Structure 1
Amino acid sequence: MKNILFIIIIIVSFSCAEEKKSIEEIEIIPQANSDTISNKIPVLNFATFHMGKTSDANSTEFDENDRKNQQDAKRIAEMISKFKPTIVCVEYPTEKDSILNLEYNEFLKNSSQPVSWYGEIGLVAFPLASMSGLDKIYGIDHKMGYNYRIAGEIENQIDSVTVNNYYENPFEEYPELGSDMDTLNLLEKLKLMNHPKFLDFLIVVNADILAYAGTEDNFEGADEAAKYYQRNLRIYSNLNRIPMTPDDRVFILSGGSHTAFLREFFERSPKYEMVDTFQYLD
């Protein structure tokens, strides 16, 4: 079970024995640039790790109170501000929007001072929203538990070979993604996390691989994976509750696996069009 837990946490802290390419050598597949599309709402769907203590199991070592880290995070916000968002959404429960905006309003009173509230929300989303002249931000998260350890807790009678081989070397198909996060600066980490191949990996490791696990005539793995799909669909539904017009520009800051699922929904959306994240990470 330690192996399975490691794979889940590997979202933000991982290494691989395979020969690695540098961040610059990984081929970037551009997303559509919606600046040329008038009938859809542009969305900058941005993956991050959690830059502080959260209730999320997937966190990484990052001192949110370190001055250099705070300055680096603000530079990321400045880069993203070129997108000119009119709506900023974060991974925070929708039903706690009043708390979220109370903290944001406190930040606005002295926006020159860094705030590490809720990690990346205070460090990136607050300054970004302030730079963009916004008076509020939106939480779109919906908490739901699921058991990502299920494959190691049951006698797998579906395909234990595939499951075990995958957990043994999850980067076999994408060795170029097997970078040691501790060697990367903040910008490099975020570039890696927003790479399309890495986002694909996050869906497999968090959900799809569980469909290979189950007991005879049962679907324990698939059912747990479905819970994670459901959580992300509910996050997407929360986004759709926000009043918008075609003139809006939406920025979403969330953990990598949520970004990965949202990307799938946006690619088929009749309402939204994703912009190329890497256009704003130079």
Structure 2
Amino acid sequence: MQVLNVGFFHFGTTSDATKVDFDENNAKEQEEVRELSKLLSQFKPTIICLEYTPEIDDKINEAYQNFLKNPDKLDTEYGELGMVGYDVARINGLKKVYGIDNYIGYNYSVGDFIENSPELTNAIDAETYLEITNNPLKEHPELDALNKNFDSLSLLEKIKLTNHPVMLDYSLNTNADKLFYVGIDDNFVGADQAALFYQRNMRIFSNLNRIKMKKADRVLIIMGSAHTAMLREFINRSPKFEMVNTLDYLN
């Protein structure tokens, strides 16, 4: 079955380290959201998976049903999940959406903490850690320039950049993989924290596979970009799925 795996930055309030300048209540930006939803709807999904835990499925789908009663007003309460997820589901006549998230806390700042603590020394590879932290897109100057001016881009341009393969790799490095170069003495404090992020995403993929699907189903996944990047790896290797090119649906 085909999968459209789309990475987003979070609209509205977020606990993520990086917050994008986006006003979900601004009329112009809401218009951009509607246009983006139309583009993603061209995939014609039969199943839509969003970044919320299955435990609150009834609450999320109650809000979706309320949105269907008044679709002229975008639901901003759940950020991109409601604004884009609900609208794409509405356009495609879907009765419900699915949550596949699983929350595991981890400390993605442990490397920064070590670097900023004079009494501590990164005993693994501080040089590579700092290179990834300070110059993550050094080999891709055009993408680096776009990323540094991210807030000035249109919503569609933001989502296109977010889903560029190099940017998805960057997202994995930023959120987890750079921690493979961090440790104190002979411990694995960085790798152990990164493993928690990997575990969360493996559980997300397992939740995806809990959903009963037919071969003819077409699955749209809307998640934060780091989750999208990791799901890309799992989906690519799975005999169950065929992942389509996200950028083909953003033109």
Could you say whether these structures have the same fold, taking a TM-score greater than 0.5 normalized by the shorter chain as the test?
A: yes
Counterpart check, 1:142 vs 2:102: yes
Cα deviation 1:234-275 (Å, max 9, x = unaligned): 111110100100010000001110000000011101101101
Q: Distance in 2 between matches of 1:166 and 1:54?
A: 24
After TM superposition, give the deviation of residue 170 of structure 1 in Å: 1.5
Q: Distance in 2 between matches of 1:174 and 1:96?
A: 40
- Residue 98 of structure 1 corresponds to 58
Q: Distance in 1 between matches of 2:154 and 2:86?
A: 21
Counterpart check, 1:156 vs 2:122: yes
Q: Any residues of structure 2 matched to 1:171-182 within 5 Å, and which?
A: 171-178=137-144, 179=146, 180-182=149-151
After TM superposition, give the deviation of residue 104 of structure 1 in Å: 0.3
Alignment match of 2:41 (pick from 81, 84, 104):
81
After TM superposition, give the deviation of residue 112 of structure 1 in Å: 2.2
After TM superposition, give the deviation of residue 173 of structure 1 in Å: 2.3
- Residue 162 of structure 2 corresponds to 193
SS of structure 2 residue aligned to 1:251: strand
Superposed CA RMSD in Å reads: 1.1
Unmatched runs of 5 consecutive residues or more in structure 1 = 1-40
- Residue 184 of structure 1 corresponds to 153
Q: Distance in 1 between matches of 2:219 and 2:166?
A: 23
SS of structure 2 residue aligned to 1:83: coil
Cα deviation 1:164-192 (Å, max 9, x = unaligned): 23222111122222111022100101000
Q: Any residues of structure 2 matched to 1:107-256 within 5 Å, and which?
A: 107-154=67-114, 155-178=121-144, 179=146, 180-256=149-225
Which amino acid is 2:207 matched to?
N
Which amino acid is 1:130 matched to?
R
- Residue 275 of structure 1 corresponds to 244
Counterpart check, 1:42 vs 2:8: no
Q: Distance in 2 between matches of 1:163 and 1:194?
A: 24
Q: Distance in 2 between matches of 1:147 and 1:221?
A: 9
Paired residues of 1:53 and 1:118 also in contact (CA < 8 A): no
Cα deviation 1:199-218 (Å, max 9, x = unaligned): 11111121111011101211
Q: Distance in 2 between matches of 1:59 and 1:101?
A: 26
Paired residues of 1:54 and 1:118 also in contact (CA < 8 A): no
Q: Distance in 1 between matches of 2:177 and 2:153?
A: 28
SS of structure 1 residue aligned to 2:42: helix
- Residue 17 of structure 1 corresponds to none
Cα deviation 1:66-95 (Å, max 9, x = unaligned): 111111101111111111000001111121
After TM superposition, give the deviation of residue 56 of structure 1 in Å: 3.9
Poorly superposed stretches of 4+, deviation over 6 Å: none
Q: Distance in 2 between matches of 1:46 and 1:152?
A: 29
Cα deviation 1:112-138 (Å, max 9, x = unaligned): 222212111121111100001001001
- Residue 59 of structure 1 corresponds to 19
Q: Distance in 2 between matches of 1:47 and 1:249?
A: 17
Alignment match of 1:265 (pick from 234, 237, 240):
234
SS of structure 2 residue aligned to 1:267: helix
Question: CA 1:259–1:267 in structure 2 vs 1: closer, same or farther (change >3 Å)?
Answer: same
- Residue 118 of structure 2 corresponds to none
Moved more, 266-275 or 58-67: 58-67
Question: CA 1:96–1:55 in structure 2 vs 1: closer, same or farther (change >3 Å)?
Answer: farther
TM-score w.r.t. the length of structure 2 is: 0.93
Paired residues of 1:50 and 1:58 also in contact (CA < 8 A): no
Cα deviation 1:8-44 (Å, max 9, x = unaligned): xxxxxxxxxxxxxxxxxxxxxxxxxxxxxxxxx1000
